[in-house]
Structure 1
Amino acid sequence: MTLHVQFQTIFMMVLSGIAMGAMFDVFRVLSGKLRLPRWTVSIVDILYWIVATILVFRLLIYSNEGQLRVFVFLGIGIGICFYFALLSVWVIRLTLLVIRIIIMIYRILRRTVELLIIKPIIGLYRLTVIILGFLVAVAIFLYKIVLQLLYPVWRLLLWMTKPLHKYFVVPAWLRKLSGKIVAIYRWLFSK
């Protein structure tokens, strides 16, 4: 292994240590902001270590074909120490800023959808209910007027055809219909 490869490996491991620290802070801030249940903490830890392991070994394979030496661990340790000494505060602030921006965008989108889609649909529904209610009221009103106008004509027709009942047999359905019309008229206009 040449000196160039060793320096490249140490540099990659320092970068992987910085990346591991940044991932740790991001996971920590996200789990705090999302208020995850206690049982998910171990799942998040396992995910962190899986991602960190894949990252370290991918960089190790890239830099020196996967040879594991003492300076690999030294590079990771230096990267983690460097990160927590100088960069941790900035990554946490950046993560919180990104979370606030995402929440703000979500609220703007939700409000936009509410104003442009949901409120017009609710307004249209209410307008439809009002119009249908008005039309039903007008229809009932006209129905009562038509019944009031036709009732005397119906009574006159019954009175005029009464002498003919001696000579003709009135069908039972017509007598029932006549009785129902009279009952509906009395029910509607007795109130």
Structure 2
Amino acid sequence: MSLNEQFVAMFAMLISGLCMGIVFDGYRVVAHQLHFPKWTKPVLDFCYWVIAVCFIFRMLYITNQGELRFYVFFGLFLGVWFYFLWFSFTTVRIVVILMKVIKQIVRLIQRLVEIFLLKPIIGLYKLVKFLIRILFLSAMFIGRIVLQLLSPFWRLFKFLTRPLWRHFKIPEWVKRSLDYGTRLWNRLFKRKREE
């Protein structure tokens, strides 16, 4: 390899070292801000190093066909050292600010969803529930009025058909149904009169 190609490879490794530092600090800050469980730290570290090694070898393959020389390690070390010496603090600050901005945006979206979607749905549900209750109470009220209006006719029907019932044997289930209906009738309308 020519000297020029070696300098290009070393410069690529220096940039790779800087990129490794940026990704490492970024992932560390994000993991801290999102409160990842402690058991995920070794898994995330392993994933980081696998991705970093793949990235470095890809860059190495592009610049010098994958040859491992001293200047490759030297360039990588310089990149990481420069990053942690001059850029780490700034990167951490920027990532923290970005995380705060993203959290604010997420809170805003949640609030908008709550105001424009959830609250109208809850309000509509309460309105429908109220209307159904009103309709049910109205139906009960109208039913009571109808039953009260039909009461004299029912008594007249019972009085007129009483001689017929003496000649016919009424099944037990019919008697039980009539008794139940009478008890229900008395319960509904005796309460009404007492009120």
| Common fold: TM-score over 0.5 | yes
Corresponding residue pairs, total:
190
User: C-alpha separation between the residues in 1 aligned to 2:188 and 2:165?
Assistant: 29
Partner of 2:40: 40
Q: Is the aligned partner of 1:153 residue 2:148?
A: no
Q: 1 CA distance for matches of 2:119 and 2:156? A: 56
Deviation, 1:179, is 3.9
- Matches of 2:164 and 2:9 in 1, distance apart? 118
Structure-2 residue corresponding to 1:18: 18
Q: Is the 8 A contact 1:151 1:185 kept in 2?
A: no
Give the equivalent residue in structure 1 for 2:142: 142
User: How far is the alpha carbon of 1:155 from its aligned partner?
Assistant: 0.5
**CA shift at 1:141, angstroms?**
0.7
Q: Which runs of 5+ in 2 are unaligned?
A: none
2:90 aligns with 90
The match for 1:126 is 126
1:104 & 1:78 partners in 2: Cα distance?
37
Q: Deviations over 1:135-188 (max 9, x none)?
A: 11111111111111111111122223335556x647547766654443221011
- Find the aligned partners of 1:107 and 1:146 in 2 and give their Cα distance: 56
Superposition pairs of residues 74-85 of structure 1, within 5 angstroms: 74-85=74-85
Q: Please give the secondary structure, in 2, of the residue aligned with 1:98.
A: helix
**Contact 1:13/1:75 (CA < 8 Å) preserved in 2?**
yes
Secondary structure at 1:190's aligned position in 2? helix
Letter in 2 for 1:185: W
String of CA shifts for 1:101-128, please: whole Å, max 9, x gaps: 2212211221122122211111111111
How far, CA to CA, are the matches of 2:93 and 2:190 in structure 1?
77
How far does residue 38 in structure 1 lie from its aligned partner after superposition? 2.0
RMSD value, Cα: 1.9
